[in-house]
Amino acid sequence: MKIITWFGTLTLDSDGKVVEWDLFPKDTDVLAERLIQPKEADMNIPPTGFDIRAAAIECGFVASNDEYDKLLRDVSIRAAKQQISSGTPDMGIIQAVEALDDIDETANTLSERLAEWYGMYFPEVGLSSEPLVRFVAKYGSRSNIPTDDRLYEKATSSMGAELTGLDEELVKGFAENICTLYDSRSRIEEYLVKSMETTAPNLVNIAGALIGARLVSMAGGLEKLARFPSSTIQVIGANRALFKHLRARAPSPKHGIIFNNPIIKNAPWWQRGKIARALAAKISLAVRMDVYSGELNESIKTELDAKIESIKAANPKPPKRENKNKNKGGKVKGKGQKQNTGGRR
């Protein structure tokens, strides 16, 4: 019988004695890597009662019990450090999504401050957020706008105050700093797209890279997302609406962040709930395929497209809404109302 240990591969006879051995290099890093690697299918673990320490000394891998204990301790510590430092690919995705949220919050706050600040000098600019930041970083004072720019006429007739040299330097530098945030955001999005295409190709094919990354982040990892039922995936991100539904008996949410997918967002309102249910079911299947297979399966996308087409064909028009205030029984007499029987007596 052939068994595998942390220091080498051993061949045992019918009595459990070592007859052959193939020892691994006596290097801490190499032994640690082999210790955390999956075992080969044709290898067996040592049988119950087998003395691994004695076998290591018998094969000449170590010379004494003390050397065996010290080396095993060093290898175990090294293996633990490698596992902690390596982590999993989806952990980087989660951190990148959270970084995007932090950048969005910071950039929006700073761009609003810049809009209020620059509005004192050029209130007619008509820009906001990133376009305004790029504009201020490029031109600074409105007097620097070239004649071929579409804002040139507004700049020459602006009612804003003049921007002095010191103020212009300060405002322009402030805008340039905000530009670095937007540049960082673009690089993080590129990283997310590449990482998701490698880590979860089926999820990207169904939901898109950015929506898929946000689903992974909210679930706490790809494997945790794979354990979610499709009904939970459908409403991830709709926490407020869901709690409101549970507390106040409000209508249950039909979709969470998957609403941002064009398949749902561009659909008529009466089809969105059914499409969201179908999309969530295929996302659940795609995530499990990514976790347990890792290979792209185009049939999931084909089945989703066919399902959506059937939903659109079966629901071409909005449903008729019932008028709850309509009186179906005609006029109703009050309790104290007398019936007119027709003539005077």
pLDDT digits (tens, 9 = 90+) for 267-290: 999 999 999 999 999 999 999 999
pLDDT digits (tens, 9 = 90+) for 36-53: 775 554 456 667 778 888
Phi, psi of 18 (to 5 degrees): -75, 125
Report residue 89 as tokens.
């690919």
Which of the two residues, 341 and 26, has the higher pLDDT score? 26
Amino acid 117 reads: W
Comparing 87-96, 181-190, 309-318, the range with the smallest average pLDDT is: 87-96
Report the C-alpha gap between 256 and 263 in whole angstroms.
14
pLDDT digits (tens, 9 = 90+) for 201-256: 999 999 999 999 999 999 999 999 999 999 999 988 877 776 776 777 777 778 88
Report the C-alpha gap between 127 and 115 in whole angstroms.
8
- Whole-angstrom CA distances from 309 to 209, 231, 259, 274 are 23, 21, 18, 11
Q: Which residue has the tokens 């459908």?
A: 234
Report residue 164 as tokens.
């002095």
Q: Say yes or no to pLDDT of 153 above 50.
A: yes
Give the homologous superfamily in CATH for domain 200-314. Answer: Nop domain (1.10.246.90)
Report the C-alpha gap between 190 and 210 in whole angstroms.
10
Residue range(s) occupied by CATH 1.10.246.90 in the chain: 200-314
Whether CATH 3.30.160.70 fits 90-193: no
Is the separation of the CB atoms in 3 and 12 below 8 Å?
yes
8 - beta bridge partners?
A: 23
Return the closest-CA partner of residue 19 out of 9, 32, 28. 9
Q: What fold, for 2-86?
A: Nucleotidyltransferase; domain 5 (3.30.420)
- What pLDDT was estimated at residue 112? 95
- What pLDDT was estimated at residue 228? 93
Residue range(s) occupied by CATH 1.10.287.4070 in the chain: 90-193
Residue range(s) occupied by CATH 3.30.420.220 in the chain: 2-86
